[in-house]
Structure 1
Amino acid sequence: MKISREVKTAVLVISGIVLFIYLFNYLKGENLFDSNITYFTKFEYNALDTSSPVTIKGNTVGKISSITYDYESGQTIVGISVDKRLKFSKNSTVRLYEVSLMGGNALAIVPAEEGDQAQKGDFLPSEIEPGLVKSLSKNFSGLSSNLDGTLKSADSLLTNLNRVVVDDSENGLKAILKELNATLKGFKSLSYSINSLVVKNDENISSILENFKTVSQDLTQLSAELKAANLGESVAKLDATLASMNTLMAGLEQGEGSMGKLLKDDALYNNLEGATKEMEALLRDIKLHPKRYFRILSKKEIPYQEPKDQ
C-alpha cells in the first residue's frame, strides 16, 4: 500500500507539533509522562503567574497550573500541580512569599502535622508572608522622618562650615590657612638654610662621620679585648676577695683572732696601754740616768727613782 505525500506531510507536521509541545514543557520543568496531582487555594488578589514555582522546604515540587478569577467571591483561585509522590495533610497551608528583591513571587506548601491526607482537587488554606519591600513601605514614614532629621542636621553642618569658610576674622578659616601658609614658608626657608649649611660643611660632616666610624671600631676592638681578657673571671675573683674581706671583717667584729681580741678585749687593751706607759717611763729614765744602765759609764750602782716631772 502506497502512502501519499499528503499523509506523510501531515504525519510530519503532527509529530513536529507534539515534539515542540514536549520540549516546551520539558524546558519549563514539566514531564508529560508523569501525572501530577492538582490542588487549589484562594487569595484576595493575584500576585502570581503560571511560571511561579511551588516549593516545600525550599525545594521545587511543582508549578501553578491555573489562575482564575471567581466573580462571585471576588477572590483569585490558584491551581497548583505537584508531584504525586508528595504526601501532606489537607490542613497544610499554602504560603505566598517574595522570591527576591528584584520581584517575583512563589508558593510554598507548609505541611501540617495533623489532619487527613490531602486529595486531588482539595482546597488548601492560604496565607501571605510579608516581604522585605512591603515591610519597608510600611515603615517608610518612620524612615522618612529620620531621613528628614538627618538632612536637617547635614544642612546645619554645611551652613556652619560655610560660615567658618567665609569668616574674615582672626579666628576664621582664612586667617588660619594664612598662618599655616606662613608657617610652611618658614619651614621651607629653614630647610633651605639647613641644606645650605650641610653643603658648606660637607667636608666637616664627612670628617665627623669618619671619626665616629674610627671610634666605633676602637670600641669594638676594646670590647673584643675585654672579652678575651676574661673580664667575667676577674669580676668573679674580685667578688670572692670581697666575700673573704667581708668574712674577715665579720670575724674582727665578733672578736675572733688576735686582731679581733685586740679590738674587742678591753683587758688586753689596758695591758698594752700599761706596757706602753712602762716602756715610755723606762726610755725616759734611760735618757735621764744613762749611768744607771750602762756600767761602763759608772761603776757605782745608782738606784731607780721615780722622776719628779711626769
Structure 2
Amino acid sequence: MKVSREVKTAILVIGAVLVFIWGYSFLKGKDLFNSYKTYYVVYDNVEGLSPSAPVTLNGLVIGKVTAIAPEKKGHLLVTMQIENNDFSISKTSSAVLYDPSLVGGKQIAIHPDFKNPTPAEDGDYFTSGVEPGMLSIMSDKLVPLQNKVEATVVSADSLLRNVNEVLDSDSKASLRDAIKNLSNTMRDISATTRSVNKMLAKNEKNIDGTFESMNKAATNIAQITDSINAEDLSRAVRQLENTMGNVDNLLADLQSGKGTMGKLLKDEEMYDNLNGASKELKELLADMKNNPKRYVHFSVFGRKNRPYVEKE
C-alpha cells in the first residue's frame, strides 16, 4: 500500500507536535508517560529552590518540584510531582528543604511518618521543614569566631598603642640598658659555671672519696642496726617500764606521806621542829662565837676554873 506524501507530512507534523508537548511538559517537570501524584507544601522562604528541583526519599529521587507560587501572608506554595512507587507516604509526612552540597540548589526530602498508616492522597499538603545546610552551619560557627578575632585584634591594637605610649625615648634607652646588663649577667653566670666545672673536675677524686666514705658509714650504721637484737630491745623496754613503775610508786608514797621523806614532805610538825632546832643551833653557834669562855675553860698552870659571869 502506497502512502501518499500528504499522509506522511501529517504524521510527521503530529509527531513533532507530540514531541513538543512532551518536551514542554518535561521541562515544566511533568512526565506524560508515568503516573504521578501531586502534593503541596508551604514554606516561609525557598531561597535556592527552583522548579524541577529533585524530591528525594531516603536519598532516592522520587519526583521533582513543578511550581513555586506566592501564597497569602508572604508564604510560598511549592507543588511537587511524585511518581507512584512502592514507598508508602502517609498523610502526616513532612517535606524538608535542605542543601545536598555546597554547589547546586536546594532540594526537598520527604520524611515519611511510619506511625500513621493512612497513605497520602493526590492534592494533600505536607508539613514543611527546613534543615540547615553546610553553609549555614559554617556561618553559625564562623560568626562567633569572627567576633572573637575582631575583639582580639582590637585588644592587640589597644595594647600596641599603650606600649608605644609607654616606650618613649627614655624608656627605650632604659630597656636597652637592661637588656645589655642582662647579657653581661648571663656572661658572668656562664664564666662562673665554667669555673665550677673546672673545680669539680679537679676535686673529682676527693668528691668520690667523700661519697665512698659516706657509703661506708651508712653500711656500718646499717650493720649496727641489724646487730641489735629485737629480743634485747624488748627486754630493755620492759626494764624501762618496770623502772618507770617503781618511780611512780615512789612518787606516790612521797605524795601520800609514807616513809621518812614522805613525812618530811607532809608532816608540818616535824618541819616546825626541824626549823626550830635549826634556829636554836644557829643561836648556839653564834653564842659560842661571841662567848667562847662560857663553853671552853683552859688553864696552863692548873688553876681552878672560875665560873663564867655574864657581862652586864
Short-chain TM bin = 0.5 to 0.7
Distance in 2, matches of 1:176 and 1:271, equals 88
Equivalences for residues 133-212 of structure 1 within 5 A: 133-134=135-136, 147-158=149-160, 169-172=172-175, 174-212=176-214
TM-score norm. by structure 1 comes to 0.55
Partner residue in 2 for 1:223: 225
Q: Is the 8 A contact 2:55 2:110 kept in 1?
A: no
Classify the secondary structure of the residue corresponding to 2:111: strand
CA shift for structure 1 position 142: 8.5
- Equivalent position of 1:22 in the other structure: none
User: Which of 61, 64, 71 pairs up with 1:63?
Assistant: 61
**8 Å CA contact 1:40, 1:122 repeated in 2:** yes
Percent identity for Structure 1 against Structure 2: 23
Query: Structure 1 pair 246/160, CA: closer, same or farther in 2 (3 Å)?
Result: same
> Could you tell me how far 1:184 is from its partner in structure 2?
1.9
Contact 2:39 2:123 in 1 (8 A): yes
Looking at structure 1, the residues matched to 199 and 210 of structure 2 have their Cα atoms a distance apart, in angstroms, of 15
**Structure 2 residue runs without a partner (length 5+):** 1-33, 281-294, 296-308
Query: How far apart are 1:242 and its partner, in Å?
Result: 1.3
Equivalent residues in 2 for 1:227-266, closer than 5 Å: 227=229, 230-257=232-259, 259-261=261-263, 263-266=265-268
Distance 1:235 1:143, change over 3 A: closer
Q: Shift of residue 171 of structure 1?
A: 4.3
Would the aligned equivalents of 2:88 and 2:119 in 1 still touch at CA under 8 Å?
no
How has the CA–CA distance of structure 1 residues 146 and 261 changed in structure 2, closer, same or farther, with 3 Å as cutoff?
A: closer
Report the counterpart of residue 97 of structure 1 in structure 2. Answer: 98
CA distance in 2 between partners of 1:62 and 1:154 (Å)? 52
Equivalents in 1 of 2:150, 2:276: separation in Å? Answer: 114
Partner Cα separation in structure 2 for residue 113 and residue 206 of structure 1: 87
List gaps (5 residues or longer) in structure 1: 1-34, 55-59, 278-287, 289-307
Residue 192 of structure 1: how far off its partner (Å) = 0.6
Correspondence for 1:131: 132
